[in-house]
Chains A and B, each alone.
Chain A
Amino acid sequence: QSALTQPASVSGSPGQSITISCTGTSSDVGAYDYVSWYQQYPGKAPRLIIYEVSNRPSGVSNRFSGSKSGNTASLTISGLQAEDDADYHCSSYVNTIKRVFGTGTKVTVL
């Protein structure tokens, strides 16, 4: 199972919106509405910010939103803030209960 494809880096200025893509295949991203997104600071554990394509866990800012079209899922961060400077990982259900993660994206707030 190959990793989902994410851009290596995305950057934006405070207040701007950015979008991170996560491209898979018709066997993973395209097959299920089970895409999740994680935020990770260096040396820390990942934090779930989006599950099942567009749902936010309690406590996650509504500046984070998720969507999906075909084999590509997207994470949008609106009103970019300094604290959003982190790594972001997508993940998709594959089959049965297996999962695959993306290659990861470094978000830089300029």
Chain B
Amino acid sequence: EVQLLESGGGLVQPGGSLRLSCAASGFTFSTNDMAWVRQAPGRGLEWVSTITASGLNAYYADSLKGRFKVSRDNSKNTLYLQMDSLRAEDTAVYFCAKNLRASASDYWGQGTLVTVSS
């Protein structure tokens, strides 16, 4: 059974940093592209980033302006999202997701809430 378990969310002050983790199991992590998707309270989904299976290539939403960095450790079956210079508008539930080919995500974690507030 595919399982994705996010952790690392919490309350952070504006300008602060946070690192999210996503522990994967039940599939061959090292052969699958992975994504981060977020959802602000009461809003729709927003694609954040995708990282290829090898970890060599990563892609980001233009709106992030270089503040986030995705990485993965295939030896630990874990996906990461380093978030710096956090803003109030980054407040959201952050989901990690396994990609089905390039264009869709077929398994999702339960999400971790990030709140940016003073």
Among B33, B45, B46, B100, which residue has its beta carbon within 8 angstroms of that of A97?
B33
- Identify which of A13-21, A47-55, A71-79 touches chain B: A47-55
Kindly state whether residue B50 has any CB partner on chain A within 8 Å: yes
* Least Cβ–Cβ distance between B52 and chain A, in angstroms: 8
Chain A interface bracket (under 10, 10 to 19, 20 to 34, 35 or more): 20 to 34
Closest to B46 in A: A101
Kindly state whether residue A96 has any CB partner on chain B within 8 Å: yes
Q: How far is the CA of A40 from the CA of B43 in the complex (A)?
A: 12
Kindly state whether residue B109 has any CB partner on chain A within 8 Å: yes
Among B47, B108, B110, B111, which residue has its beta carbon within 8 angstroms of that of A99?
B47
Kindly state whether residue B44 has any CB partner on chain A within 8 Å: yes
Closest to A57 in B: B106
* Least Cβ–Cβ distance between B86 and chain A, in angstroms: 21
**Cβ–Cβ contact B61 & A101, under 8 A:** no
- Chain B residues in 8 Å Cβ range of A69: none
* Least Cβ–Cβ distance between B110 and chain A, in angstroms: 6
Closest to B59 in A: A97
Kindly state whether residue A110 has any CB partner on chain B within 8 Å: no
Known contacts A36-B104, A45-B108, A98-B50; 12 additional CB pairs below 8 A are A35-B103, A47-B108, A48-B104, A51-B100, A52-B104, A89-B44, A91-B47, A92-B103, A97-B59, A101-B37, A102-B44, A104-B45
* Chain B contacts to A: CB under 8 angstroms: 33, 35, 37, 43-47, 50, 52, 57, 59, 61-62, 95, 100-106, 108-111
* Chain A contacts to B: CB under 8 angstroms: 1, 3, 32, 34-36, 38, 40, 44-48, 51-52, 57, 89, 91-93, 96-104
